[in-house]
Amino acid sequence: MLSLTHSSPDEFIYKDKSYKVDLAFDTVLLYLQLQQDEKLSPFEKWLQSCKLFFGSQKLPSDPKFYESAFRQIQAIITDNPYGTEEIEKDGGVEATKQFDYVRDAGAIYASFFEQYHIDLNKERGKMHWDTFKALFDGLGPKTYFQRILQIRREDPTKIDDPKARQELYDSQNYYAVDGAKTGQERTAQALNNSALGSAFKSLFEDAEKGGN
């Protein structure tokens, strides 16, 4: 969560030693996408996740380090100052099915440029996830991204005019997330992936057995 009095976290302290953590918005989005790649094994996801967040730093051979580090990273990524949003069910699209960071990348980019005059391509590797999330949540109703969300939320069955109702159906089909997991669902699944947690432990258990 963004703070006006403290810098956004960019390090992880473990046993009195500091490790730099890359929490740029594009790194976090790559991480969330990585967890959805069914072609990769849990071990491969674990390795690539470590490279994304810690780069080429020498990391300890201690499972507790990774458990603690990813628990802290999870807390940062999922933190919401206003709590969890309720799921809206009123004939339209549920709140958790409204957007996808990959599918809606163009709309998000255009909306940041439109409202904040920020070129996200130039912010890769620089803008912290906390900053990105605060700006993302603050996108106004007239931005391209929010207009798409509004189309997805509307309930066509409440429109009496057949032509207008069909136009909304067509628009919803055009802007549909195509069954892809949404931003909230990606976050929830990626950060609660028990297979990754198991990979952390089994990796070092094997290493310890091999060293005995």
* Residue-wise pLDDT tens digits, 100-116: 888 899 999 999 999 99
Distance CA 126, CA 9 (A): 13
Q: How far is CA 22 from CA 1, 29, 56, in A?
A: 16, 12, 11
The pLDDT score that the predictor gives to residue 66 is 92
Distance CA 152, CA 178 (A): 12
Which two three-digit tokens encode residue 149? 């969300």
Distance CA 180, CA 175 (A): 12
Q: Binning pLDDT at 50, 70 and 90, where does residue 53 land?
A: very high
Segment 184-200, tens digit of pLDDT: 445 555 555 544 555 55
The pLDDT score that the predictor gives to residue 209 is 53
Annotated domain spans of the chain: 11-81+187-211, 95-182
Which two three-digit tokens encode residue 120? 């996200």
Cα-based angle 32, 141, 177 (whole degrees, multiple of 5): 40
Q: Which residues pair with 73 in a beta bridge?
A: none
Mean pLDDT, all residues of the chain: 82
96 or 195: which leads in pLDDT: 195
Q: Binning pLDDT at 50, 70 and 90, where does residue 95 land?
A: very low
The pLDDT score that the predictor gives to residue 56 is 94
Neighbour count for residue 160 (Cβ, 10 Å): 7
Phi (first) and psi of residue 23, to 5 degrees: -115, 35
The pLDDT score that the predictor gives to residue 190 is 53
The pLDDT score that the predictor gives to residue 90 is 43
Q: Binning pLDDT at 50, 70 and 90, where does residue 74 land?
A: confident
Segment 114-128, tens digit of pLDDT: 999 999 999 999 999
Whether the full predicted model's pTM is greater than 0.75, yes or no, is yes
Please answer whether residues 112 and 134 qualify as being in contact, where contact means their C-beta atoms are separated by less than 8 angstroms: no
**89 pLDDT above the threshold of 80:** no
